[in-house]
């Protein structure tokens, strides 16, 4: 276990150094925000929102099919040779890529792919998709603004015709990389009238009317239905029947740790309504757990116990933690 952890950390350290290579060469001038230090998902979202404010209201909502499973080893190494000349380092990376995958008791040696969540995977994604960024900047930047964070991407265009051309361009570029878009998850969305929106980096993005000037619409974002569902599932897991007799302090600490991370990521934008609903859900789940602990049905007894504690048992609240305004400024 100790050796495996050391290897993972070594891979991660190499990945961080590799991720900075493009920066030192003055590359990545496209609005992409690769998965590396000082490049946050919030910055990618702000680039996208600013593009919508400027009138690029036709969005190519793209999803690369099984990206990490389809990364070809030869393609990865070919891309790495553009920035690494040391053959020993390249050989080491090939060994890492070709390492066996243990699934239960079965050991397999896939001919392509990188484990999603592995320390090198996000960096390798950037190494390969940098070719997408570069080709877009050189040949297709007039069609629209490409915004990418790791393998998540979208293109914002001023007209439907350009959006259709941008989608065709993405198909062509990715085909040259041995990748393809998922047909069921890729679409062109017109967002100007606010009747439709799209999900990107965990947020749902949609044009909404201003309260003061209803005829004026602005780009808003809040946690997507998928992100919210995952949060509720995690909270339900942490407050399940199997934890009925766990110390209250431990339960609260676990919940607070999760809520702080979730709040930190989703607090930027227009998340107040979603925060209030999730905050209420945490309160109700904790009340139900306490009631069961005391042999009572329903949430009433648990709610009374939480209220009488005076500080919600130490549970942190999501309400009042939304930071409005430009996400890039708020994230600094």
Q: For residue range 152-171, what is the model confidence (pLDDT) as tens digits?
A: 999 999 999 999 999 999 99
Per-range mean pLDDT, top range of 33-42, 104-113, 308-317: 308-317
Neighbours of 38 (CB within 10 A): 9
Task: Report helix, strand or coil for 156.
Answer: strand
- Assess contact for 179 and 70: CB atoms under 8 A: yes
Helix (H) and strand (E) counts in the chain: 13, 9
Residue 113: which pLDDT band, with cuts at 50, 70 and 90? low
Give the mean pLDDT of 136-140: 97
Token pair for 105: 């008791």
What's the pTM value of the predicted model, to 2 decimals?
A: 0.81
Position 207 pLDDT exceeds 60: yes
Domain spans in the chain, listed from the N-terminal domain onward: 2-223, 225-330
> In this predicted model, what pLDDT tens digit does every residue of 312-327 receive, in sequence order?
889 999 987 776 654 4
Please name which of 113, 150, 131, 174 lies closest in space to residue 15, comparing C-alpha atoms: 150
Q: How far from the centroid of its chain's Cα atoms is residue 25's Cα?
A: 26
Residue 195: predicted pLDDT = 95
Helix H or strand E encompassing 107: strand 106-108
Residue 276: predicted pLDDT = 94
Alpha-helix residue ranges (DSSP H) falling in the chain: 2-19, 21-24, 41-53, 67-70, 73-80, 87-97, 121-135, 160-176, 225-238, 248-266, 272-293, 300-308, 327-330
* Spatial distance between the Cα atoms of 59 and 65, rounded to a whole number of angstroms: 18
Parallel/antiparallel/unpaired status of strands 106-108 and 145-149:
unpaired
Q: How far from the centroid of its chain's Cα atoms is residue 272's Cα?
A: 20
Alpha carbon separation from 189 to 30, 57, 58, 62 (Å, rounded): 22, 8, 6, 10
Please name which of 201, 262, 190 lies closest in space to residue 44, comparing C-alpha atoms: 201
Task: Report helix, strand or coil for 150.
Answer: coil
> What is the CATH topology of the domain spanning 2-223?
Alpha-Beta Plaits (3.30.70)
* Mean predicted lDDT score pLDDT of the chain: 82
- Contact partners, residue 324, CB within 8 Å, separation at least 6: 269, 270
Residue 299: predicted pLDDT = 83
Position 24 pLDDT exceeds 50: no
């Amino acid at each position: 276990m100790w050796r495996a952890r050391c290897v993972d950390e070594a891979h991660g350290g190499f990945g961080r150094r590799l991720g900075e290579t493009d920066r030192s060469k003055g590359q990545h001038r496209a609005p992409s925000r690769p998965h590396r230090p000082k490049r946050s998902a919030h910055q990618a979202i702000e680039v996208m929102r600013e593009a919508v404010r400027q009138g690029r209201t036709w969005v190519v909502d793209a999803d690369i099919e099984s990206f990490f499973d389809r990364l070809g080893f030869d393609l990865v190494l070919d891309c790495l040779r553009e920035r690494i000349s040391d053959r020993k380092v390249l050989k080491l990376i090939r060994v890492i890529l070709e390492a066996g995958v243990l699934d239960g008791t079965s050991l397999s040696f896939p001919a392509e792919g990188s484990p999603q969540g592995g320390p090198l995977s996000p960096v390798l994604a950037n190494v390969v998709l940098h070719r997408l960024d570069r080709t877009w900047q050189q040949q297709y930047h007039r069609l629209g603004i490409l915004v990418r964070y790791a393998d998540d991407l979208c293109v914002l265009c001023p007209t439907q015709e350009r959006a259709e051309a941008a989608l065709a361009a993405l198909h062509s570029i990715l085909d040259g990389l041995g990748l393809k878009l998922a047909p069921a998850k890729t679409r062109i969305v017109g967002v100007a009238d606010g009747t439709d929106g799209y999900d990107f980096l965990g947020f749902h993005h949609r044009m909404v009317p201003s309260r003061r000037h209803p005829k004026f619409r602005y780009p808003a974002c809040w946690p997507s239905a998928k992100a919210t569902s995952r949060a509720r599932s995690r909270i339900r897991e942490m407050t399940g029947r199997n934890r009925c007799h766990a110390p209250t302090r431990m339960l609260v600490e676990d919940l607070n740790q999760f809520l702080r991370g979730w709040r930190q990521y989703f607090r930027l934008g227009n998340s107040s309504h979603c925060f209030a609903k999730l905050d209420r859900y945490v309160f109700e789940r904790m009340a139900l757990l306490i009631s069961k602990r005391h042999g009572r049905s329903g949430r009433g007894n648990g709610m009374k116990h939480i209220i009488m504690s005076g500080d919600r048992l130490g549970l942190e609240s999501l309400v009042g933690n939304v930071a409005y305004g430009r996400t890039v400024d708020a994230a600094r």
